[in-house]
Structures are given as structure tokens and as C-alpha cells.
Amino acid sequence: MRSPWYGLLAALPLIAALGPAATGTGAVASEVDCAALPRRTDRMVCANPALRAEDAEIARLYKLAVAKAGGHAAPVIAEQARWLATQDRLCGDLAPADDERARTCLARALPLRRAALAVQATRPALPLCDRVAATLATARGLDGGPPVGDLDEQLIGAGLLTPAPEQELTQAWRDRLPPEATADAGDQMAVVPFGSSHVAVTALDDAASCTSFSVHWLDTAGNGGPALPPPETRPADGSSAQGAAYCWSESAGFGLDATGAPVFFAQDSGPTRPVARPQRTTVRIRPVRRDRWGAACRVEATYQTEFRLGDGRCAADADTCRALTEAAPRWATALAASPWSTGADHPPGRPDYPALDGLTPHHGPFAPTFLAIPRVKGWTYTGLPNFEEEAPLLDWRSPEGPLVLRLSPGMLNWQPGPMILAAWRQEGSTLVPVAAYALNQVRVGVPAVTMALGQGKP
């Protein structure tokens, strides 16, 4: 199970409290020493014009939302404080060497927070789930396109969900919880206190690929009571004494919603392989009321997608590199639309690899070199280093001569990644890497977002 909290004046936006110089006016360099600011998130926003502009707009919308709330502004202020603390934890607490990741974290979170505040400032009385749907429908990234990341990650970045960090399952916790809560035989267990009244006990299975959990209310002394019923109906797979587990393309988390109430949230990430069709992803949010669950809501977003050339290198001549990079997105789209790609991983009788424009099957001998994604002029793929084994070798007559290609889905951090393309040139008995690229499936256009209420008493 992918954990969404691993991979974003206290009530004001990040650096807006410093005044106009720190809110995107262009005067930061002369009026504020960004490096002297105490918080890492402040320093990064201050030093980046695009992030300063986002922060300035967040400041404006936040003040407008507080003003619209009038005498009921306390929840607005508390939500902003929780969002600030979350961004400090998810973005600011990364290791000093991870400045690029920290900036990326902030660049994703600030536009989402801006969208959430824009909805709150214009429609202050919206119920949470309606506000979630409206935020997801209007949010845009810094590049103007749809935000990246699963819906639970977007809602954390927007401040509508605050994830609770895991804690070690110490003996003190075991003494406070009923025996059945810690009886799971998983190879790693932890607790997740969320709100002040509930705790979840999580357990990884032996392969560390799936997580199950049980949820318990805490009495006034902090001791756990009996387990609540499962928060949602799931297939019983027998993988855990605590119930069906969440694996691979799913995640489940615990934390607070925008009102500060304890909630469970679960994310379905959709297909586990790149497929050339709209991406549908859902998030479910369910509040917990002492020893029972409240009414759930389900929000689904559908994104149009296309393949674009990502990181990589080409060491061929200019004409060959140009032809390769122009054709690669087209090949990736055709492969993703084929039965070979839309099927499950490695099924018996898998459909044949599709015919791709300008490529023909390679009939030469298979060399061990073809197994691994090559390094080309210093570029190294950061995911799993091998191609999917069923992906065939292909011949391509490039402008500089014949090349051998391989194109297959990739994996990043044990999660589905981009398509990976590599090319080699035969020089006598030696195979020389000519090119290697990642082809990212990116969201485009305006998402279609729907919201439905589920069962349960509010």
C-alpha cells in the first residue's frame, strides 16, 4: 500500500506575513533576505518568483475567506494552520540534499491550496465533499495543466485532508490496545493516532506489498476499545486477520478533514499499466464518530492523457535524434492502446505485441545487453532497471542507419511508471547504446469530476 504521507503568524500563508516584499511583488531581493528566513518552506517560496506569486494569491484568498466567514472564521484559520504544518512536514522536513524534491513538493501544493481557498472564498457554506469536488475540478498546476498525483495527494496538498504520521508500535501502545489489535502476524506493524479519539493499527504482509489495519476508539484515559467495523466493504482475500488488505495501486490513510474531524480516506489509482484512454481515479472519505462511521462520500476525477517525451539522452546524429523523439510519443500511444498493454501483467496467452509505425521485428540474436535500460551519456533511469521481459526487440531504419529498439512500460519505486524506450547500434560484435528515454503519460485538458454520497449516518 502506498502511504500518501511519505511518495506535502501560523494561520497565514507561507511567507505572506512578511509583507508585500515577500508576496510576489518582485521586491524580495532588495527588501527581504530569503536565506535568513527561519523556515525552509519560507526560504524556498521567497527565493522562487513563481512560488512567491502563488503565495501572494493564497494570502489574498485566505483574507477573503476569513472575511466572508465573519464570526465563523475560526475553522478557516485552523484549517490554514494545519495546512502550513503539513507542508512544513512533507516539504520542509526533507533532507537538505533534497532541495529539488522540496521545491517540487511546494510547487504542487501551493496551486492546490490556492484552488481550495478560491472555492472557500466564493462558496463558504459548501459541505466538505462538495468542496473537495469543486477544488479538484478547478485546480491547475503551475504550468496551467491538471495537477499531478493521486486525488488523496491532491487533497493533502490543498489542505482538505491532513494525514496523520505513523508511529512505532511500542510496548506502551500494546498495553493500551486490546490484544486482538496487535495479534496480526505481519512483518511490520505501526499505529496511526488520528484526531484525539482514534487510532489505527496497521500491518504489512510478509512481502511488504500490502497493508491491512484495524481502527479503535480511545477512551478518556487513552486506552483503545474494540475495533470498529471495516470502513468500507472489500473483497475478503484472507491475507490478514485484520481484513482485506490494500495493495499496489491503492492506498488508505487516516487523518483530519478540513473541519478538523477524524477521517479515513482511501484512494484507487486506476490502471497499473500505462493505457491510452482517460484516467479515472477515485478517493473515498469517511468520518469516524466514536464507535461508528459517518456517511462516506466518493469523488471521481477523469483526466484525458497523452504521452510526452520525458528525461533521457540521445547520442546519435541530429537527424536521428529528431526523428526518434518525434516518433517516440506516437509509438508509446499505439502500444498503450493495444491489447498487449491493456491486459494484466504477464498473463498466459498474452496478446501479441502490436505493429508500430516504421518498426519491424528484430530477428538477430538476443544479447544480455538488451535486458537492461542503458545509460546514455550519463543519464540513468531512476526506476527498476530492466525492461518488461515480454517486450520484443524491434528494428528501425534511422537516418544514420539501422538501430535496434525496445519499448515497454517501466516501474518507479515499485509503482507503474512511464514507457521506456532505448536504442542500440551494432558495431561489429558490440552493442553501443544510442538513446534512452522515458515517455510520460501526462494529464491534459479539464478533468470531469463527480461526487456521490455513500451509506452511513452523518
Q: Rounded mean pLDDT of the chain?
A: 85
In the chain, what are the domain boundaries? 16-160, 167-304+445-453, 306-442
Q: Cα–Cα distance between 41 and 105 in angstroms, integer? A: 10
pLDDT above 60: residue 21: no
Measured between alpha carbons, how far is residue 277 from residues 144, 273, 341, 399, 428 in Å? Answer: 21, 11, 12, 32, 42
pLDDT 10s digits, 90-107: 887 765 667 788 889 999
Measured between alpha carbons, how far is residue 7 from residues 192, 202, 404 in Å? Answer: 18, 18, 34
pLDDT 10s digits, 203-224: 887 656 688 899 999 999 999 9
Q: Which of 202, 229, 244 is nearest to 291 (CA)?
A: 229
Supply the pTM of this predicted model. 0.85
- pLDDT for residue 14: 62
Bridge partners (DSSP) listed for residue 214: 201
Task: Tell me how far apart the 2 most distant CA atoms of the chain are, in Å.
Answer: 80
pLDDT band at 65, cuts 50/70/90? very high
- pLDDT for residue 227: 94
- pLDDT for residue 244: 72
- pLDDT for residue 416: 64
Here the cell at position 61 is: 484568498
pLDDT 10s digits, 419-456: 999 999 988 888 999 999 999 999 999 999 999 987 54
Across 303-330, b (16+ Cβ under 10 Å) vs e yields bebebebbebbbbbeeebbebbbebbbe
Report CA torsion sign: 217, 223, 224, 225. Answer: negative
pLDDT above 90: residue 331: yes
Question: Do 395 and 452 form a contact (C-beta atoms < 8 A)?
Answer: no
Q: Cα–Cα distance between 323 and 328 in angstroms, integer? A: 9
Q: Cα–Cα distance between 205 and 215 in angstroms, integer? A: 18
pLDDT 10s digits, 350-378: 788 999 999 999 998 888 889 889 888 77
Q: How many degrees, rounded to 5, is the angle at CA 317 between CA 312 and CA 321?
A: 40
Q: Cα–Cα distance between 103 and 84 in angstroms, integer? A: 15
Burial of 128 (C-beta count, 10 Å sphere; 0-12/13-18/19+): middle
Least confident of 1-10, 64-73, 137-146, 294-303: 1-10
Share of the chain above pLDDT 90, in %: 57
Q: Which of 362, 321, 357 is nearest to 337 (CA)?
A: 357
pLDDT 10s digits, 261-320: 999 999 987 666 677 788 888 999 999 998 999 999 999 999 999 999 999 999 999 999
pLDDT above 70: residue 411: yes
Q: Cα–Cα distance between 278 and 271 in angstroms, integer? A: 10
Report CA torsion sign: 219, 222, 226, 230. Answer: positive
